[in-house]
Structure 1
Amino acid sequence: MPSEVHPTRKKLLEAGKREFLAKGWKGSSLRRICASCGVTTGAFYFFFPSKQALFEAIVDPVIRALLSLTEELAQRELEDLFTGQEGDRRMMEFELAHRQEFLILLEKAEGSSREGFREQAYSSMARCFSRQFEKAIGRRPRQDVIDLLAGLRFETNLAILKGASHMEEAYFLNSIMGCYAEGGFLHLIEQMHHKL
């Protein structure tokens, strides 16, 4: 049976998430975090050895779960190229369930131990795109093509995360993008495979 999170620890995690989302890692203040949830800095250090440890406690569980989901979805897409829309939906569900953590990691982590997350996430997406194209055309595709397509998809996902006012809108926009991407992928394979 999982142990309950101490109420003070839980308050610090929530206050830290709000502070990092509002101010970013660099602009965040341990004193503001503590003050916003009525906890002394001494009590803070009982639960976390540093602001960095609090930051990691907020984002690292999401990173671990993301890595597991990404690996699962990438494997399924390699086995069947037509599972992409389902994978897109599951990924968007995950991103929306952890929207604040993703926005912190993608836009607010500069100066933290996780500041490279954005580049790692993009690189992971580009590798998945490359493997999909390689399977479809029987050779490695041009890197500039992969960079362009992965960049478009990455920035679109981020725009949906930042801009959708409610879950239904985010799912709708994601399904539109997934359908468009799948059609574009198939059209590229059919019409331009020799140039890729």
Structure 2
Amino acid sequence: MSVNSQITRTRIMECASKEFMEYGYQSANMRRIAQAANVTTGAMYNHFSNKAVLFDALVQAPAEEMLDRFRGIHAQFKADLPKLTFVHMKETAYLGTDWMLEYIYAHFEAFRLIFCRSEGTRWVSYLEELIAVEERAYCDAFGKRGRRVEDMFLHIIAASGFQYLVECVSHDLSYEKAVAVLDSAKRFSMAGWQELFKL
């Protein structure tokens, strides 16, 4: 790809990100994006064959990397479970939350599109994939401790944990403010687990 072609592609993506954020995926308009990027629609379609491909170009790389790393973290957690105490589980959970928040904020625009503007795309189910990974980790942790926990309760708890992240992103909080919010959420959640299961 030539330098000029790369510059054009980058400009289209910048304008598309603004368009998707303002209108959402379903109401975003490729002609408006081309006009904002100062290119013909033909030139834009040379780079991106359709709106879905353009949205993917904005979010796919960071989203897939985060999901892969998240699965890896939980695979390691499962392998380490036999030797983990509750204190170690707590530390692992806190570190995982901190890492995810930092990663999301390093790719803020992509995750804001996924969490807030992805209706009509394949990314609308992305959050459910993250929640499913977290649910399995809860099942593993409580199974290790010989406790039976209702599946729906685990789903709700896993989903609510991710909702903290979504709210930080959707309300456009600064990273520093999001860290403060998540620190409170971590303490709140851990106190609940300790009380409910006498850990």
TM-score (norm 1): 0.84
Q: Which of the two has greater helix per residue?
A: 2
Change (3 A) 1:140 1:16: farther
> Counterparts of 1:32 and 1:126 in 2: how far apart (Å)?
41
> Counterparts of 1:173 and 1:164 in 2: how far apart (Å)?
13
Alignment correspondent of 2:193: 185
Alignment correspondent of 1:45: 45
Alignment correspondent of 2:119: 110
Supply the AA of the counterpart residue of 1:8: T
Q: After superposition, what is the alpha-carbon deviation per residue over 1:39-97, rounded to whole angstroms, capped at 9, x for unaligned?
A: 21111122111111111111111221112221232234442413111111000011112
Shift of 1:130: 2.7
Query: Given that residues 122 and 150 in structure 1 are in contact (C-alpha distance below 8 angstroms), is that contact kept between their aligned partners in structure 2?
Result: yes
> Counterparts of 2:111 and 2:9 in 1: how far apart (Å)?
21
Check if 1:14 corresponds to 2:14.
yes
Supply the AA of the counterpart residue of 1:150: A
Supply the AA of the counterpart residue of 1:107: C
Shift of 1:9: 0.8
> Counterparts of 1:101 and 1:132 in 2: how far apart (Å)?
31
> Counterparts of 1:132 and 1:23 in 2: how far apart (Å)?
42
| Correspondences of 1:18-167 after superposition (within 5 Å) | 18-78=18-78, 79=80, 80=84, 81-82=89-90, 83-135=92-144, 137-163=145-171, 165-167=173-175
> Aligned to 2:134, what secondary structure does the other structure show?
helix
Higher alpha-carbon deviation: 169-178 or 113-122:
113-122
Shift of 1:141: 2.2
Supply the AA of the counterpart residue of 1:59: V
Check if 1:169 corresponds to 2:186.
no
Q: After superposition, what is the alpha-carbon deviation per residue over 1:122-175, rounded to whole angstroms, capped at 9, x for unaligned?
A: 33332333333333x225521122022112212222112222531111111112
Higher alpha-carbon deviation: 108-117 or 87-96:
108-117
Query: Given that residues 164 and 170 in structure 1 are in contact (C-alpha distance below 8 angstroms), is that contact kept between their aligned partners in structure 2?
Result: no
> Counterparts of 1:41 and 1:154 in 2: how far apart (Å)?
38
RMSD: 2.2
Query: Given that residues 116 and 170 in structure 2 are in contact (C-alpha distance below 8 angstroms), is that contact kept between their aligned partners in structure 1?
Result: no
> Counterparts of 2:30 and 2:171 in 1: how far apart (Å)?
29
> Counterparts of 1:176 and 1:164 in 2: how far apart (Å)?
18
Supply the AA of the counterpart residue of 1:117: Y
Shift of 1:184: 2.5
What are the ranges of 5 or more consecutive residues in structure 2 without an aligned counterpart? none
Question: Identity of paired residues, percent?
Answer: 24
Shift of 1:34: 1.1
How many residues of Structure 1 are paired with residues of Structure 2 in the alignment? 188
Query: Given that residues 19 and 33 in structure 1 are in contact (C-alpha distance below 8 angstroms), is that contact kept between their aligned partners in structure 2?
Result: yes
Supply the AA of the counterpart residue of 1:18: K
> Counterparts of 1:112 and 1:45 in 2: how far apart (Å)?
19
What are the ranges of 5 or more consecutive residues in structure 1 without an aligned counterpart? 192-196
